[in-house]
Amino acid sequence: MKKFGVKPRVFLYNRIIDALMKTENFDLAMTVYEDFKRDGLVEESVTFMILIKGLCKAGRLEEMFEILEKMRENFWRPDVFAYTSMIRTLVSEGNVD
């Protein structure tokens, strides 16, 4: 799309990142997220939810906590599904404190 001068919108980025996370292409999903930020787009609640759930699935807790902090800085709150993903991941990692 960019090749043709069309700037992708948040919705399209969210769909791409979500598909990549669901197919366990975590590194590529995060690369697309970096492109998202470089394009000057602002995350929506859905963007954060997709990232948190995907990073939990990947067991990438440090990155997940960074995204959670950024989410809070932007005054968004995780939904019940994001909290469930975080709790499951932390418990499976033996981190119950």
pTM for this structure? Answer: 0.84
Residue 82 confidence (pLDDT):
80
pLDDT-derived band at 96 (thresholds 50, 70, 90) equals low
How many domains does the chain contain in total? 1
Q: Among the listed ranges 12-21, 48-57, 68-77, which one has the minimum average pLDDT value? A: 68-77
* Vertex 17 angle, CA 15 and 20, to 5°: 105
Q: What percent of the chain has pLDDT over 70?
A: 95
Q: Which residue has the higher pLDDT, 39 or 7?
A: 39
Q: Residue written as tokens 């995350």? A: 43
Are 47 and 17 within 8 A, CB to CB? Answer: yes
Provide the 3-class DSSP secondary structure of residue 49. helix
Q: Is residue 18 in a domain?
A: yes
Domain that holds residue 78: 2-92
Q: Is residue 97 in a domain?
A: no
What confidence tens digit (pLDDT) does each residue in 49-70 have? 999 999 999 999 999 999 999 9
Q: Over range 8-12, report the average pLDDT.
A: 93
Q: Is residue 51 in a domain?
A: yes
CATH number of the domain encompassing residue 30 = 1.25.40.10
